[in-house]
Amino acid sequence: MCHRFEMVSGEEADAVLDWLRAVRRALASGAGAATVVPPAFGRPVDAPFDALDCYPGAESSVIVMEGERVEGDLVSDGEGGSFAGDCGGDLARIDLLWGVDVSWKRGLVFNARIESALSGSGLWSDAVEGGRCIVPVRAFYETRNVENAASVGAGAALVEDAPFGASDPAELTRGAVADVEQGILGLDGNPAASASRRPRGRKSQYRFSNAGGTALLLAGLRLGDRFVLVTCEPDAVVGHVHSRMPLSLTAPEALAWLDRSTDARDLLARHVPVPLESQEEPAPTKRPADPDQMSLF
């Protein structure tokens, strides 16, 4: 589960916002998303810890669609799908806190399983219909919970055994540990399996970033002044390290995700993983002061 990501600055988030607006116009005109050059952000050097890393309980910029969308013609997204073009609703950047409080558990819930969100029930049912957001980040981190590529399937089965594009709600929730995806500070979806994998010392973390050097567009769900990241089964790159990953979208997919009229199930059925690159890094030695941001190691 993702409990740490590398933020973009407010200025950089505005650049991502302008990029998505330009992609939206390009799609509406038929030019295609590839005609718009995305902003690229190098990894900052000697930046303060709290200026980079976001943990649950901290504030981050997210992108939302404000206003009501009006009906319009569908246009090609340039990737074999269709997208409702520039036909109402404005993109905006706002600052939200990562993680939500729930009455039935201690700590913050900060990840939402896409399988649970699409099942139409539980904590995320309203948010997936009217609270979708995009979290622009430089990178996200995962701590290894699988030992090798062969164990990826077994690790994923600990938290789900439904296919990513399943259409039957019963199939989507079959085998799920809870409505939230391991997203409670200090807890794991399967305590017994987690204990068997937990080392005595800290495990290294892996940093995942866009192979093209551009910002990652992570799918999120907004609940009031807070948000959670949406997670899915891992791609081949993340799957060597962890059994889950944040749902990272292309620019056309991100615009479709923000459009409340888009059927999220159809969008995800066409989803193609964003090319990622990984880099092993030591776990950070400095810890957030907020107790809600306690370590998961």
Q: What is the pLDDT of residue 50?
A: 58
Residue 13 to residues 19, 41, 63, 92, 126, Cα–Cα distance (Å): 10, 11, 8, 10, 26
Q: Rg of the chain over CA atoms, in angstroms?
A: 18
What single-letter DSSP state applies at residue 5? E
Nearest Cα neighbor of 245 from 234, 254, 229, 230 is: 234
289: which residues sit within 8 A by CB, 6+ positions away? none
| Cβ atoms of 100 and 113 closer than 8 Å | no
Sorted by where each begins, the domain ranges of the chain are 5-289
Q: Which fold has domain 5-289?
A: hypothetical protein yedk fold (3.90.1680)
To the nearest whole number, what is the mean pLDDT of the chain? 76
| Percentage above 70 pLDDT, the chain | 66
Q: Which two tokens stand for residue 99?
A: 């993680």
Phi then psi dihedrals of residue 287, to 5 deg: -115, 145
pLDDT tens profile 196-229: 444 455 678 899 999 888 999 999 999 999 999 9
**What is the rounded CA–CA span in Å between residue 241 and residue 292?**
25
pLDDT tens profile 30-74: 999 999 999 988 777 666 655 689 999 999 999 999 875 444 444
**What is the rounded CA–CA span in Å between residue 2 and residue 11?**
24
Nearest Cα neighbor of 155 from 208, 119, 194 is: 194
**What is the rounded CA–CA span in Å between residue 142 and residue 133?**
21
Average of per-residue pLDDT across 256-262: 92
Cα-based angle 71, 75, 81 (whole degrees, multiple of 5): 115
Q: What is the pLDDT of residue 145?
A: 87
Residue 120 to residues 77, 115, 218, Cα–Cα distance (Å): 27, 9, 21
Pairing type for strands 205-210 and 132-143 reads: antiparallel
At residue 95, the 3 state secondary structure works out as strand
Q: What is the pLDDT of residue 48?
A: 63
CA 56 to chain centre: 13
Residue 96 to residues 17, 55, 133, 221, Cα–Cα distance (Å): 16, 12, 10, 11
**Whether residue 192 has pLDDT greater than 60:** no
> If 0-12 CB within 10 Å is exposed, 13-18 middle and 19+ buried, where does residue 235 land?
middle
Q: What is the pLDDT of residue 185?
A: 39
The length of the chain in residues reads 297
131: which residues sit within 8 A by CB, 6+ positions away? 221, 222, 223
